[in-house]
Amino acid sequence: MGGIKQVAYFGVSTLVLKGLGFALLPISTRLLNQYQFGELNFLVSISAVLSLLLCLGLPELLFKQQTKTLIEKKALFRDCFVICAGFNCIFILLSFIFIDKLTALLPITINPFDLKLLILNLAASSLLSIIFCYFRYYEMAKQFCCLAILQGVGQTLLTVYLLWLGYGVTGVMVSGAICSSLILLVALNIVIKEVSVSFTNVKWSVSGSSSLFLLSIVVSSLFVYANNGAENWFIVAKTSKETLAQYYVALQFAVMTSFTFEPVRMWWFARRFNELKADKERYVYLCELSLEIGLVLCAIMLILAPIVFTLILPLSYQSNTWLLPTLILIVALRHHSDLLNIGCFIHRNALFVTLNNGASALIVLGLLALLVPSFGVLGAVIALLIAQVFKACMFFYFSQNLEPLDFSAKRLTTSWVSFISLYGVSIYHFSHQLVLQLVIMVIYLFFFYKKYRVEVQRFITQYRGTAAHV
C-alpha cells in the first residue's frame, strides 16, 4: 500500500477517534460537575505516565531495529509482545495488592476501584500498541483503521450511556477497560499466526544493547511526561479539581492541533529510520515538509480553536480561553522537538534523548514549583513554554552534532514568520481581529502552496483515488 493511502487510513482513524473525543468533551462537561471532571482529568494524567511505563519503549525498538530477514522481524514482534505481556501481568498483580498505598500517594482522593479499572485498561492498551505497531510496520493501515475506530466508537457510546445512567467517573473507567480488552482479543486473532515464530527457528532477539535502548526510552518518556503532563499534578495540588478541569479543557483544544498532525506523524515515524538510511537528502526534504505541515495546522488552529471553544463548552469552563494561543505555540515547538531529533535516537543507544528530556524536565519541574503557587495556571503555561523552547533547541543541536543533516532555517523562515504574526494577532482582542487573522492565513497558505505545489497536487489526486476505495 502506497504512502498516500497509508496516511489516508491513518487520517481517517485519527479524525474519527479525535472527533469522538472532541464530541465527548461537551457531553462530559455537562454530565459531570467540575469536581468530577477534574478528578477524571487527573486520572487521565495518571494514565499518561503509566502508559509510558507499561509500553517499555518497545514500539520505538520495533521501528528502530534493522533485522535482515522477514522471520527475524516477526520474531522481534513476538519477543516484544512476550516482554510487554509479562511485565503488565506483574504490574497488575502488584498494583492490586498495594492499591491502598498507591492511592495514598496521590495529591487528591481517588476511588481505588477506579484506579484498578484504569490499570486494566492501560495494560490491555499497552499490548494493543505492540499489535498496532505490527499493522503500521507491515502497511496494514486498513486493519489498524478498522480496529481503532471500532474501539473508539464502542468506548464513546458505552461511556455516554454509563454517564447518562449516573455512574460518573467509574462509568468512564469501566468503558475503557471493557473496550480495550475486547479490541485486544480481536487484534490478537488477526496477528497471532503471523508472529507465532518458533524459538527453535529464531532465538530470543532482544539483546543487551536493545535493553539499554529500551531503558533510555522509558526514562526519557518519563521526562517527556514531566514536560507535558506534570503540570496537572501541580495545578490540582496547589489549587483545586475545579481549576484543573478548566485548564484541562483549554489544553485539549490546543492538543487537538497535535491530533490533526497525527496521520503524518504515524506514517513518518514508522519509516524515518529507513528513509535516513536510504537517502539523507530525501530524508531532510520529507522532514522539513512534515514540519511545515505541522506549522500550517497550528496556524489554522490559532483561528479555529478559540471560536469552537466558546461555542461548544459551558460558560463555567471558558475562563482560560485566553491561554489557547500560547498552548498552541507550545504544540508547534513540540513538533520541532519530535521531528528534528533523529541523530539523538540512532547514536549511543539514544543516550542524548534521555539527557535532553531530563534537562528540560528538571527545568519545567523547577519552574512549576516556583510559578504555580504564585500564578496558578498562567505559571504552569509559562513553565511549559520555557522548557519546550529549551528542549527543541537542545534536540536540534545534539542531533546535528551526532548526525549532520542539511536542514536550513532559511527554508522555514516563511512558515515561522507567518505563524508568529498570526500568534501575535491572536493574543490580543480587538475589532476586526478575525479579518486580520484570515488575511495572514491566506497569505501563508499561498506561499506554502507555491513552495510545495507539486506535492499538494499529487496528494489531492492520490487522496481522491484513495477516498473512492476507503
Give pLDDT tens digits for 358-393.
899 899 999 999 999 988 889 999 999 999 999 999
Is 436 or 137 the better-scoring residue by pLDDT? 436
Chain centre to alpha carbon of residue 302: 19
Contact at 8 Å (CB) between 297 and 260? yes
pLDDT greater than 70 at residue 267: yes
Report how far apart, in Å, the C-alpha atoms of 273 and of each of 100, 123, 206 are: 44, 28, 19
Alpha-carbon span 150 to 257, nearest angstrom: 23
Closest CA to 245 of 48, 51, 427, 25: 25
Q: Given this model, what pLDDT does residue 470 score?
A: 47
Position 436 scores a pLDDT of 94
Q: Which long-range contacts (CB under 8 A, 24 or more apart) does 264-268 make?
A: 264/7, 264/290, 264/293, 264/294, 265/290, 265/338, 266/10, 266/14, 266/136, 267/3, 267/6, 267/7, 267/10, 268/339
pLDDT level of residue 465 (50, 70, 90 thresholds): low
* Least confident piece of the model among 58-67, 90-99, 388-397: 58-67
SS3 content of the chain, % helix, strand, coil (to 5): 85, 0, 15
Q: Distance (Å, rounded) from C-alpha 212 to C-alpha 224? A: 18
> CB–CB of 254/330 below 8 Å?
yes
The C-alpha atoms of residue 124 and residue 120 are separated, in whole angstroms, by 6
Backbone angles phi, psi at 159, to 5 degrees: -65, -50
Each residue's pLDDT tens digit, 14-25? 778 877 887 888
pLDDT score at 463: 53
pLDDT tier, 256 (very low <50, low <70, confident <90, very high otherwise): confident
Residues 449-461: tens digit of each pLDDT: 888 887 777 766 7
pLDDT at 3 (0 to 100): 56
Q: In whole angstroms, what is the distance from residue 421 CA to residue 430 CA?
A: 15
Share of the chain above pLDDT 70, in %: 91
What does pTM read for this prediction?
A: 0.74
Cell of 228: 507535558
Domain boundaries, the chain: 1-196, 207-470
Q: Which of 115-124, 212-221, 352-361 has the highest mean pLDDT?
A: 115-124
Asked whether residue 253 carries a pLDDT value surpassing 50, the answer given is yes
Greater pLDDT, 394 or 204: 394
Instruction: Indicate the Cα dihedral angle 59, 63, 69, 74, nearest 10°.
Output: 20
Whole-number Å distance between alpha carbons of 176 and 408: 44
